[in-house]
Chain A
């Protein structure tokens, strides 16, 4: 396997990155990955004044949808994020259940409304026989060409997935998918809103490259 060595492009190290802390998710893992890449203007917060000053936002997520959306709303973050993302058009990256919250609703533990930024639904994975659930492990992601967030990744890199529910939405918003007997949405996008079902902070070099691709593109 020949690997062509790349020089990192001029890194925008002065961008202000805020990882949204809403009591859910592995904020430390995400912050480790971002720090490793050299970004030192990094905050983990749920405070409005800090989020307002961010150039880019990251919404991590682990766990059940209903718990996540409840935690987000109880910290008044739905209102703050609606303003920053929909009005101010700040780039935001949602990870796993963070991404799932961007769509209309989810059927996990009952029907719960999401932020409805991207039309779509979160549904339980309907897998073929002999396919275990959750979908856990390394799977190769197939992306549409000219997708900015994956432009540092080689073709069909492996990323780490760990989920039982997935996003179904319009094909125009799907920028990457993976195969698990069925096609599973791996990444979505609508203008400044990006979401990935896998965990880039846990996907070793592929994940770090994806973070770099995303942060360079903003």
Chain B
């Protein structure tokens, strides 16, 4: 059966991976290539790379970064940021992107979705929607002009699906970088009106948030931008906890099935005798 996906959002600003907080504050993390390499090693299901400086500075997508990282990426790579025409998409795919994501152009020129889907196939086109809440209602957020647009995320989602989008990425501006969990109400408002797969992002702190969003919504994938960067084997330990409640993919050599975690789902030290046994276990590198 199809598994729920555990994805990572890599937010790139001026060539560096950053942590993002409410779309306002950005803290540096490091080089995209290193992030991609670790996420791959740790068994991430999918990577979404978004260049948030491209559209703002009216630059083209960063083809060099994509070219550099794609050789280390053996899981699907969605690239977004600065796409304004189909030549950009063609070049990005040539550099190693598997899917592309569009945000600005999808809001103001939905016909571009149709054009791109016609050439590249709708499964390549991910429409990324940023959502902000005001007066108890959700609106689409225009991150360039830093203001809300008079359309709900659900409406834009429906419009994008009709135009030919293959997948939707819903980002919560309010939850971004807060570790308060996914905005379930927002995600459901979108999932209820479309038939195409939805990926959610914004607010994940640990595996419990993934478990919650997979329980309470119909998302196809849940993504985290910040917390995967904080600990060694973050993806694996997160998945070791998610799999207790949901069927997901775990195919790494390390599994953490026999480990214990505290209430914040941080890895606890194993018992001394177990650690002593591990001293003498030889781990061979798997040859494919």
Q: Do A and B come from one complex?
A: yes
Chain A: residues with CB nearer than 8 A to chain B?
A: 1, 3, 5-8, 26, 28-29, 32-33, 36-37, 62-64, 67, 97, 130, 132-140, 152, 157-158, 160-164, 179-180, 199, 201-209, 212
In the bound complex, do residue A204 and residue B43 qualify as a contact, i.e. CB atoms below 8 Å apart? yes
In the bound complex, do residue A37 and residue B288 qualify as a contact, i.e. CB atoms below 8 Å apart? yes
Given B45, B99, B118, B122, which contacts A138 in the complex, CB threshold below 8 Å? B45
Secondary structure of the B contact surface, majority rule = loop
B251 to chain A: closest residue by CB: A205
Complex Cα spacing A161 to B123, Å: 10
Given B1, B120, B123, which contacts A134 in the complex, CB threshold below 8 Å? B123
In the bound complex, do residue B2 and residue A138 qualify as a contact, i.e. CB atoms below 8 Å apart? yes
B95 to chain A: closest residue by CB: A28
Q: Which residues of A contact B119 (CB under 8 A)?
A: 63, 67
Nearest Cβ distance between residue A204 and chain B, in whole angstroms? 5
Q: Which residues of B contact A138 (CB under 8 A)?
A: 2-3, 5, 45, 249
In the bound complex, do residue A28 and residue B70 qualify as a contact, i.e. CB atoms below 8 Å apart? yes
Task: Tell me if B56 is interfacial: C-beta within 8 Å of chain A.
Answer: no
Q: Which residues of A contact B124 (CB under 8 A)?
A: 62-63
Task: Tell me if B261 is interfacial: C-beta within 8 Å of chain A.
Answer: no
Task: Tell me if B15 is interfacial: C-beta within 8 Å of chain A.
Answer: no
A131 to chain B: closest residue by CB: B2
Chain B: residues with CB nearer than 8 A to chain A?
A: 1-5, 40, 43, 45, 70-71, 74-76, 93-99, 118-124, 166-167, 195-197, 218, 220-221, 249-251, 253, 255, 257, 284, 286-288
Contact A179-B1, Cβ < 8 Å, known A37-B288, A162-B76: yes
Complex Cα spacing A6 to B284, Å: 9
Nearest Cβ distance between residue B135 and chain A, in whole angstroms? 31
In the bound complex, do residue A134 and residue B166 qualify as a contact, i.e. CB atoms below 8 Å apart? yes
In the bound complex, do residue A1 and residue B74 qualify as a contact, i.e. CB atoms below 8 Å apart? no
B94 to chain A: closest residue by CB: A28
Q: Which residues of A contact B284 (CB under 8 A)?
A: 5
Q: Which residues of A contact B253 (CB under 8 A)?
A: 3
Given A132, A133, A212, which contacts B288 in the complex, CB threshold below 8 Å? A212
In the bound complex, do residue A203 and residue B122 qualify as a contact, i.e. CB atoms below 8 Å apart? no
Contact A204-B220, Cβ < 8 Å, known A62-B121, A212-B288: no
A-B contact pairs, 21 of them (CB 8 A): A1-B255, A3-B253, A5-B284, A8-B287, A32-B96, A36-B74, A37-B288, A62-B93, A62-B120, A63-B123, A134-B197, A137-B5, A138-B5, A138-B249, A157-B251, A160-B75, A202-B74, A204-B75, A205-B251, A205-B288, A212-B288
In the bound complex, do residue B251 and residue A158 qualify as a contact, i.e. CB atoms below 8 Å apart? yes
In the bound complex, do residue B121 and residue A32 qualify as a contact, i.e. CB atoms below 8 Å apart? no
Nearest Cβ distance between residue A37 and chain B, in whole angstroms? 7
Complex Cα spacing A124 to B150, Å: 36
In the bound complex, do residue A160 and residue B288 qualify as a contact, i.e. CB atoms below 8 Å apart? no
Complex Cα spacing A212 to B1, Å: 25
Nearest Cβ distance between residue A1 and chain B, in whole angstroms? 5
Complex Cα spacing A36 to B37, Å: 14
Complex Cα spacing A139 to B287, Å: 23
Complex Cα spacing A206 to B70, Å: 18
Given A140, A157, A199, A209, which contacts B1 in the complex, CB threshold below 8 Å? A140
Q: Which residues of B contact A203 (CB under 8 A)?
A: 74-75
In the bound complex, do residue A137 and residue B288 qualify as a contact, i.e. CB atoms below 8 Å apart? no
Complex Cα spacing A64 to B120, Å: 7
Given A8, A130, A136, A205, which contacts B123 in the complex, CB threshold below 8 Å? A136
In the bound complex, do residue B2 and residue A135 qualify as a contact, i.e. CB atoms below 8 Å apart? yes
